[in-house]
């Protein structure tokens, strides 16, 4: 039997912090009430908040220089599920994990579903991978996949995405996320227009295979690994493609996939307006697709994104139903700690955005009272909603302080014994 954090330990550790938590929660409740905010309403929403964990995130990541594996790394999808379940056990904010194929391929998906159910986690969007060749692959993706100049390679990439849908159907997923690495490194290498035609042709074949209640998420990325041009480079191209494909196609915003300094929250607002915001890959960055922990560099930006989301849900924007997922690479921390912290940071931005007085904000905007409008918005960001998040976890059976309990449990040590280091591991983004 593999090690799981005992519920009794969570109870004991929570008991040590319970009095301080009750005090902080009550003090915050009084403070918020003065501003006309009912803390219970915010706590209920925070408790219902869910964000998916990427299966590839629980392994140690790497850069193009090196990867430094940590102890007790998951050796395959069954181990990854355990780690994802532990993140959910303590944070109560990550009920589903998002698998990546072929990395997470197994022979028996019934076994996978049963294991996940026993661990108390489900499956979110499935992700296809045509950005690397699999061993023994007949044709190469070196010069592209869905937009490759040769039809045989495009067909192979289409077939892989269809297979992902079929696996996802078995797992109970309702969406396919497609990110392609296709692009060029040299001016003249490819025809910037023709590659988009080929992409759309391939994507429409995949789209035709989507079950009725599924969505497909198109993920754009400015650069990397292609450094001169990328086929789905930005939200404009992504939106054009989604609109060309049909109503089940949506745009996915990965926070790290934009030019430096770009106004991501405005992109989010535009996509909502077009009714095509499918969801997010949350992470943080300073330079590019750094895949750093969500909220570790620019929590204000994260808050501003959530401000747009709350604005949209407050006015019941048509077609607004985004899914949330983390997409990060953990090179120097324990991935479980990073993912727990990141899930909580996302939930924090959500709760902060809920606190903003939207009526007052609209009034200040109408009056062109710039300073007041800014201060109303900022009041949400500067509010310390930690007691709300802790209360939401506590009421859901989680940990007041997930990282402290994780450390007290020696989970990693136990896994290091159970999972002897493999010579080569497919974990992480290498």
Nearer to Mn ion, 284 or 311 (CB): 284
- Lay out the site mask for ligand RM4 across 108-147 (x = CB under 6 A, - = otherwise): -------------------x--------------------
Phi and psi of 50, rounded to 5°? -135, 140
Per CB under 6 A, 182 contacts ligand RM4? no
d(C-alpha 111, C-alpha 208), whole Å: 29
Place of tokens 């993920």: 219
**Minimum distance, C-beta of residue 97 to ligand RM4, in the bound complex (Å):** 13
Q: Judged by CB, which is closer to ligand RM4: 13, or 219?
A: 219
Give min distance, CB of 39 to ligand RM4, in A: 36
| Shortest Å distance, C-beta 341 to ligand RM4 | 19
Residue closer to ligand RM4 by CB (options 16, 142) is 142
User: 26-30: long-range contacts (C-beta < 8 A, 24 or more apart)?
Assistant: 27/387, 28/384, 28/385, 28/387, 28/388
Binding to ligand RM4 by CB under 6 A, coded x per residue (else -) over 257-286, reads: ------------------------x-----
**CA proximity to 57, closest of 221, 271, 233, 281:** 281
Q: Between residues 157 and 429, which has the closer beta carbon with respect to ligand RM4?
A: 429
Which of Mn ion, ligand RM4, none does 429 bind, CB closer than 5 to 8 A by kind? ligand RM4
Q: Could you give the count of Cα atoms lying within 13 Å of 62 in the half-sphere of its Cβ?
A: 13
Residue 301 CB, nearest approach to ligand RM4 (Å): 17
Interface pick for ligand RM4 out of 79, 83, 124, 219 (rule CB under 6 A): 219
3-class DSSP state for residue 314? helix
Q: Closer to Mn ion at the Cβ: 83 or 289?
A: 289
- Of residues 79, 124, 254, 308, which one binds ligand RM4 by CB under 6 A? 254
Give the binding-site size for ligand RM4 (rule: CB under 6 A). Answer: 9
The residue (of 181 and 404) whose beta carbon lies closer to ligand RM4 is: 181
Residue 127 contact partner, candidates Mn ion, ligand RM4, none, CB within 5 to 8 A by sort of partner: ligand RM4
CA distances in angstroms from 124 to 102, 149, 171, 175, 381, listed in the order given: 16, 32, 9, 7, 29
CB 328, CB 342: distance < 8 Å: yes
Nearest-CA neighbor of 99 among 171, 151, 28?
171
Q: What is the DSSP string of 100-144?
A: EETTT--S-HHHHHHHHHHHT-EE--EEE--SSPPTT-SS--TT-
Member of 103, 123, 141, 179 binding ligand RM4 (CB under 6 A):
179
From the CB of 160, what's the least distance to Mn ion, in Å?
Answer: 18
Shortest Cβ distance from residue 122 to ligand RM4 (Å)? 19
12-31 residues in contact with ligand RM4 (CB under 6 A) are: none
What is the distance between the terminal CA atoms of the chain, rounded to a whole angstrom?
A: 30
Q: What is the dihedral of CA 429, 113, 398, 407, to 10 degrees?
A: -40
> For residues 215 and 412, which CB has a smaller minimum distance to ligand RM4 in the complex?
215
284 binds, among ligand RM4, Mn ion, none (CB under 5 to 8 A by kind): none
In whole angstroms, give the CA distance from residue 59 to residue 224: 21
To the nearest whole angstrom, how small is the minimum distance from the Cβ of residue 96 to ligand RM4?
16
Using alpha carbons, select from 99, 73, 89 the residue that is nearest to residue 335. Answer: 73
Using a 10 angstrom Cβ sphere, with 0-12 exposed, 13-18 middle and 19 or more buried, the burial of residue 208 is: exposed
State the nearest-atom distance from the C-beta of 268 to Mn ion, in Å.
15
- In the complex with Mn ion, the residue whose CB is nearer, 223 or 403, is 223
Q: Which of these, 234, 132, 152, 228, lies nearest to 242 by C-alpha position?
A: 234
Q: Contacting ligand RM4 (CB under 6 A), which of 82, 124, 182, 289?
A: 289
327 lies in the binding site for ligand RM4 (CB under 6 A): yes
CB of 101 closer than 8 Å to CB of 354: no
Render 320-353 in DSSP notation, one character per residue: ---EEEE----SSS-HHHHHHHHHHHHHHHHHHH
Which residues of this protein are in contact with Mn ion, per CB under 5 A? 254, 281, 289, 327
Q: Which residues bind ligand RM4 (CB under 6 A)?
A: 127, 179, 219, 221, 254, 281, 289, 327, 429
């Amino acid at each position: 039997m593999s090690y799981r954090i005992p519920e009794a330990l969570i109870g004991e550790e929570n008991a040590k912090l319970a009095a301080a938590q009750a005090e902080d929660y009550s003090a915050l409740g009084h403070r918020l009430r003065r501003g006309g905010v009912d803390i219970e309403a915010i706590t209920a929403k925070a408790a219902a908040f869910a964000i998916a964990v990427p299966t590839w995130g629980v392994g140690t990541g790497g850069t193009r220089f090196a990867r430094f594996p940590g102890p007790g790394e998951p050796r395959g999808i069954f181990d990854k599920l355990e780690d994802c379940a532990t993140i959910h056990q303590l944070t109560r904010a990550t009920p589903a994990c998002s698998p990546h194929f072929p990395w997470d391929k197994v022979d028996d998906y019934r076994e996978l579903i049963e294991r996940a159910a026993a661990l108390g986690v489900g499956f979110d969007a499935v992700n296809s991978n045509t950005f690397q060749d699999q061993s023994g692959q007949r044709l190469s993706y070196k010069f592209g996949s869905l937009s490759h100049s040769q039809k045989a390679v495009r067909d192979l990439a289409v077939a892989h995405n269809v297979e992902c849908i079929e696996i996802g159907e078995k797992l109970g997923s309702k969406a396919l996320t497609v990110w392609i690495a296709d692009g060029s490194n040299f001016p003249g290498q490819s025809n910037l227009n023709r590659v988009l035609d080929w992409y759309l042709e391939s994507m429409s074949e995949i789209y035709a295979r989507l079950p009725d209640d599924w969505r497909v998420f198109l993920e754009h990325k400015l650069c990397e690994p292609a450094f001169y041009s990328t086929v789905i480079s930005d939200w404009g191209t992504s939106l054009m493609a989604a609109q060309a494909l049909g109503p089940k196609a949506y745009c996915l915003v990965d926070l790290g996939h934009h030019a430096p300094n770009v106004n991501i929250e405005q992109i989010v607002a535009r996509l909502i307006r077009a009714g095509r915001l499918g969801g997010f890959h949350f992470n943080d960055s300073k330079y590019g697709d750094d895949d750093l922990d969500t909220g570790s560099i620019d929590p204000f930006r994260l808050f501003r994104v959530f401000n747009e989301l709350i604005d949209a849900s407050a006015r019941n924007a048509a077609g607004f139903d985004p899914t949330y997922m983390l997409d990060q690479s953990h090179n120097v921390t324990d991935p479980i700690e990073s993912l727990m912290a990141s899930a909580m940071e996302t939930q924090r931005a959500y709760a902060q955005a809920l606190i903003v007085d939207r009526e007052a904000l609209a009034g200040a905007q109408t009056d062109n009272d710039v300073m007041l409008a800014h201060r109303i918005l900022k009041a949400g960001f500067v509010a310390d909603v930690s007691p709300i998040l802790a209360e939401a976890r506590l009421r859901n059976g989680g940990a007041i302080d997930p990282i402290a309990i994780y450390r007290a449990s020696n989970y990693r040590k136990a896994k290091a014994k159970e999972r002897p280091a493999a010579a080569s591991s497919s974990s992480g983004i290498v």
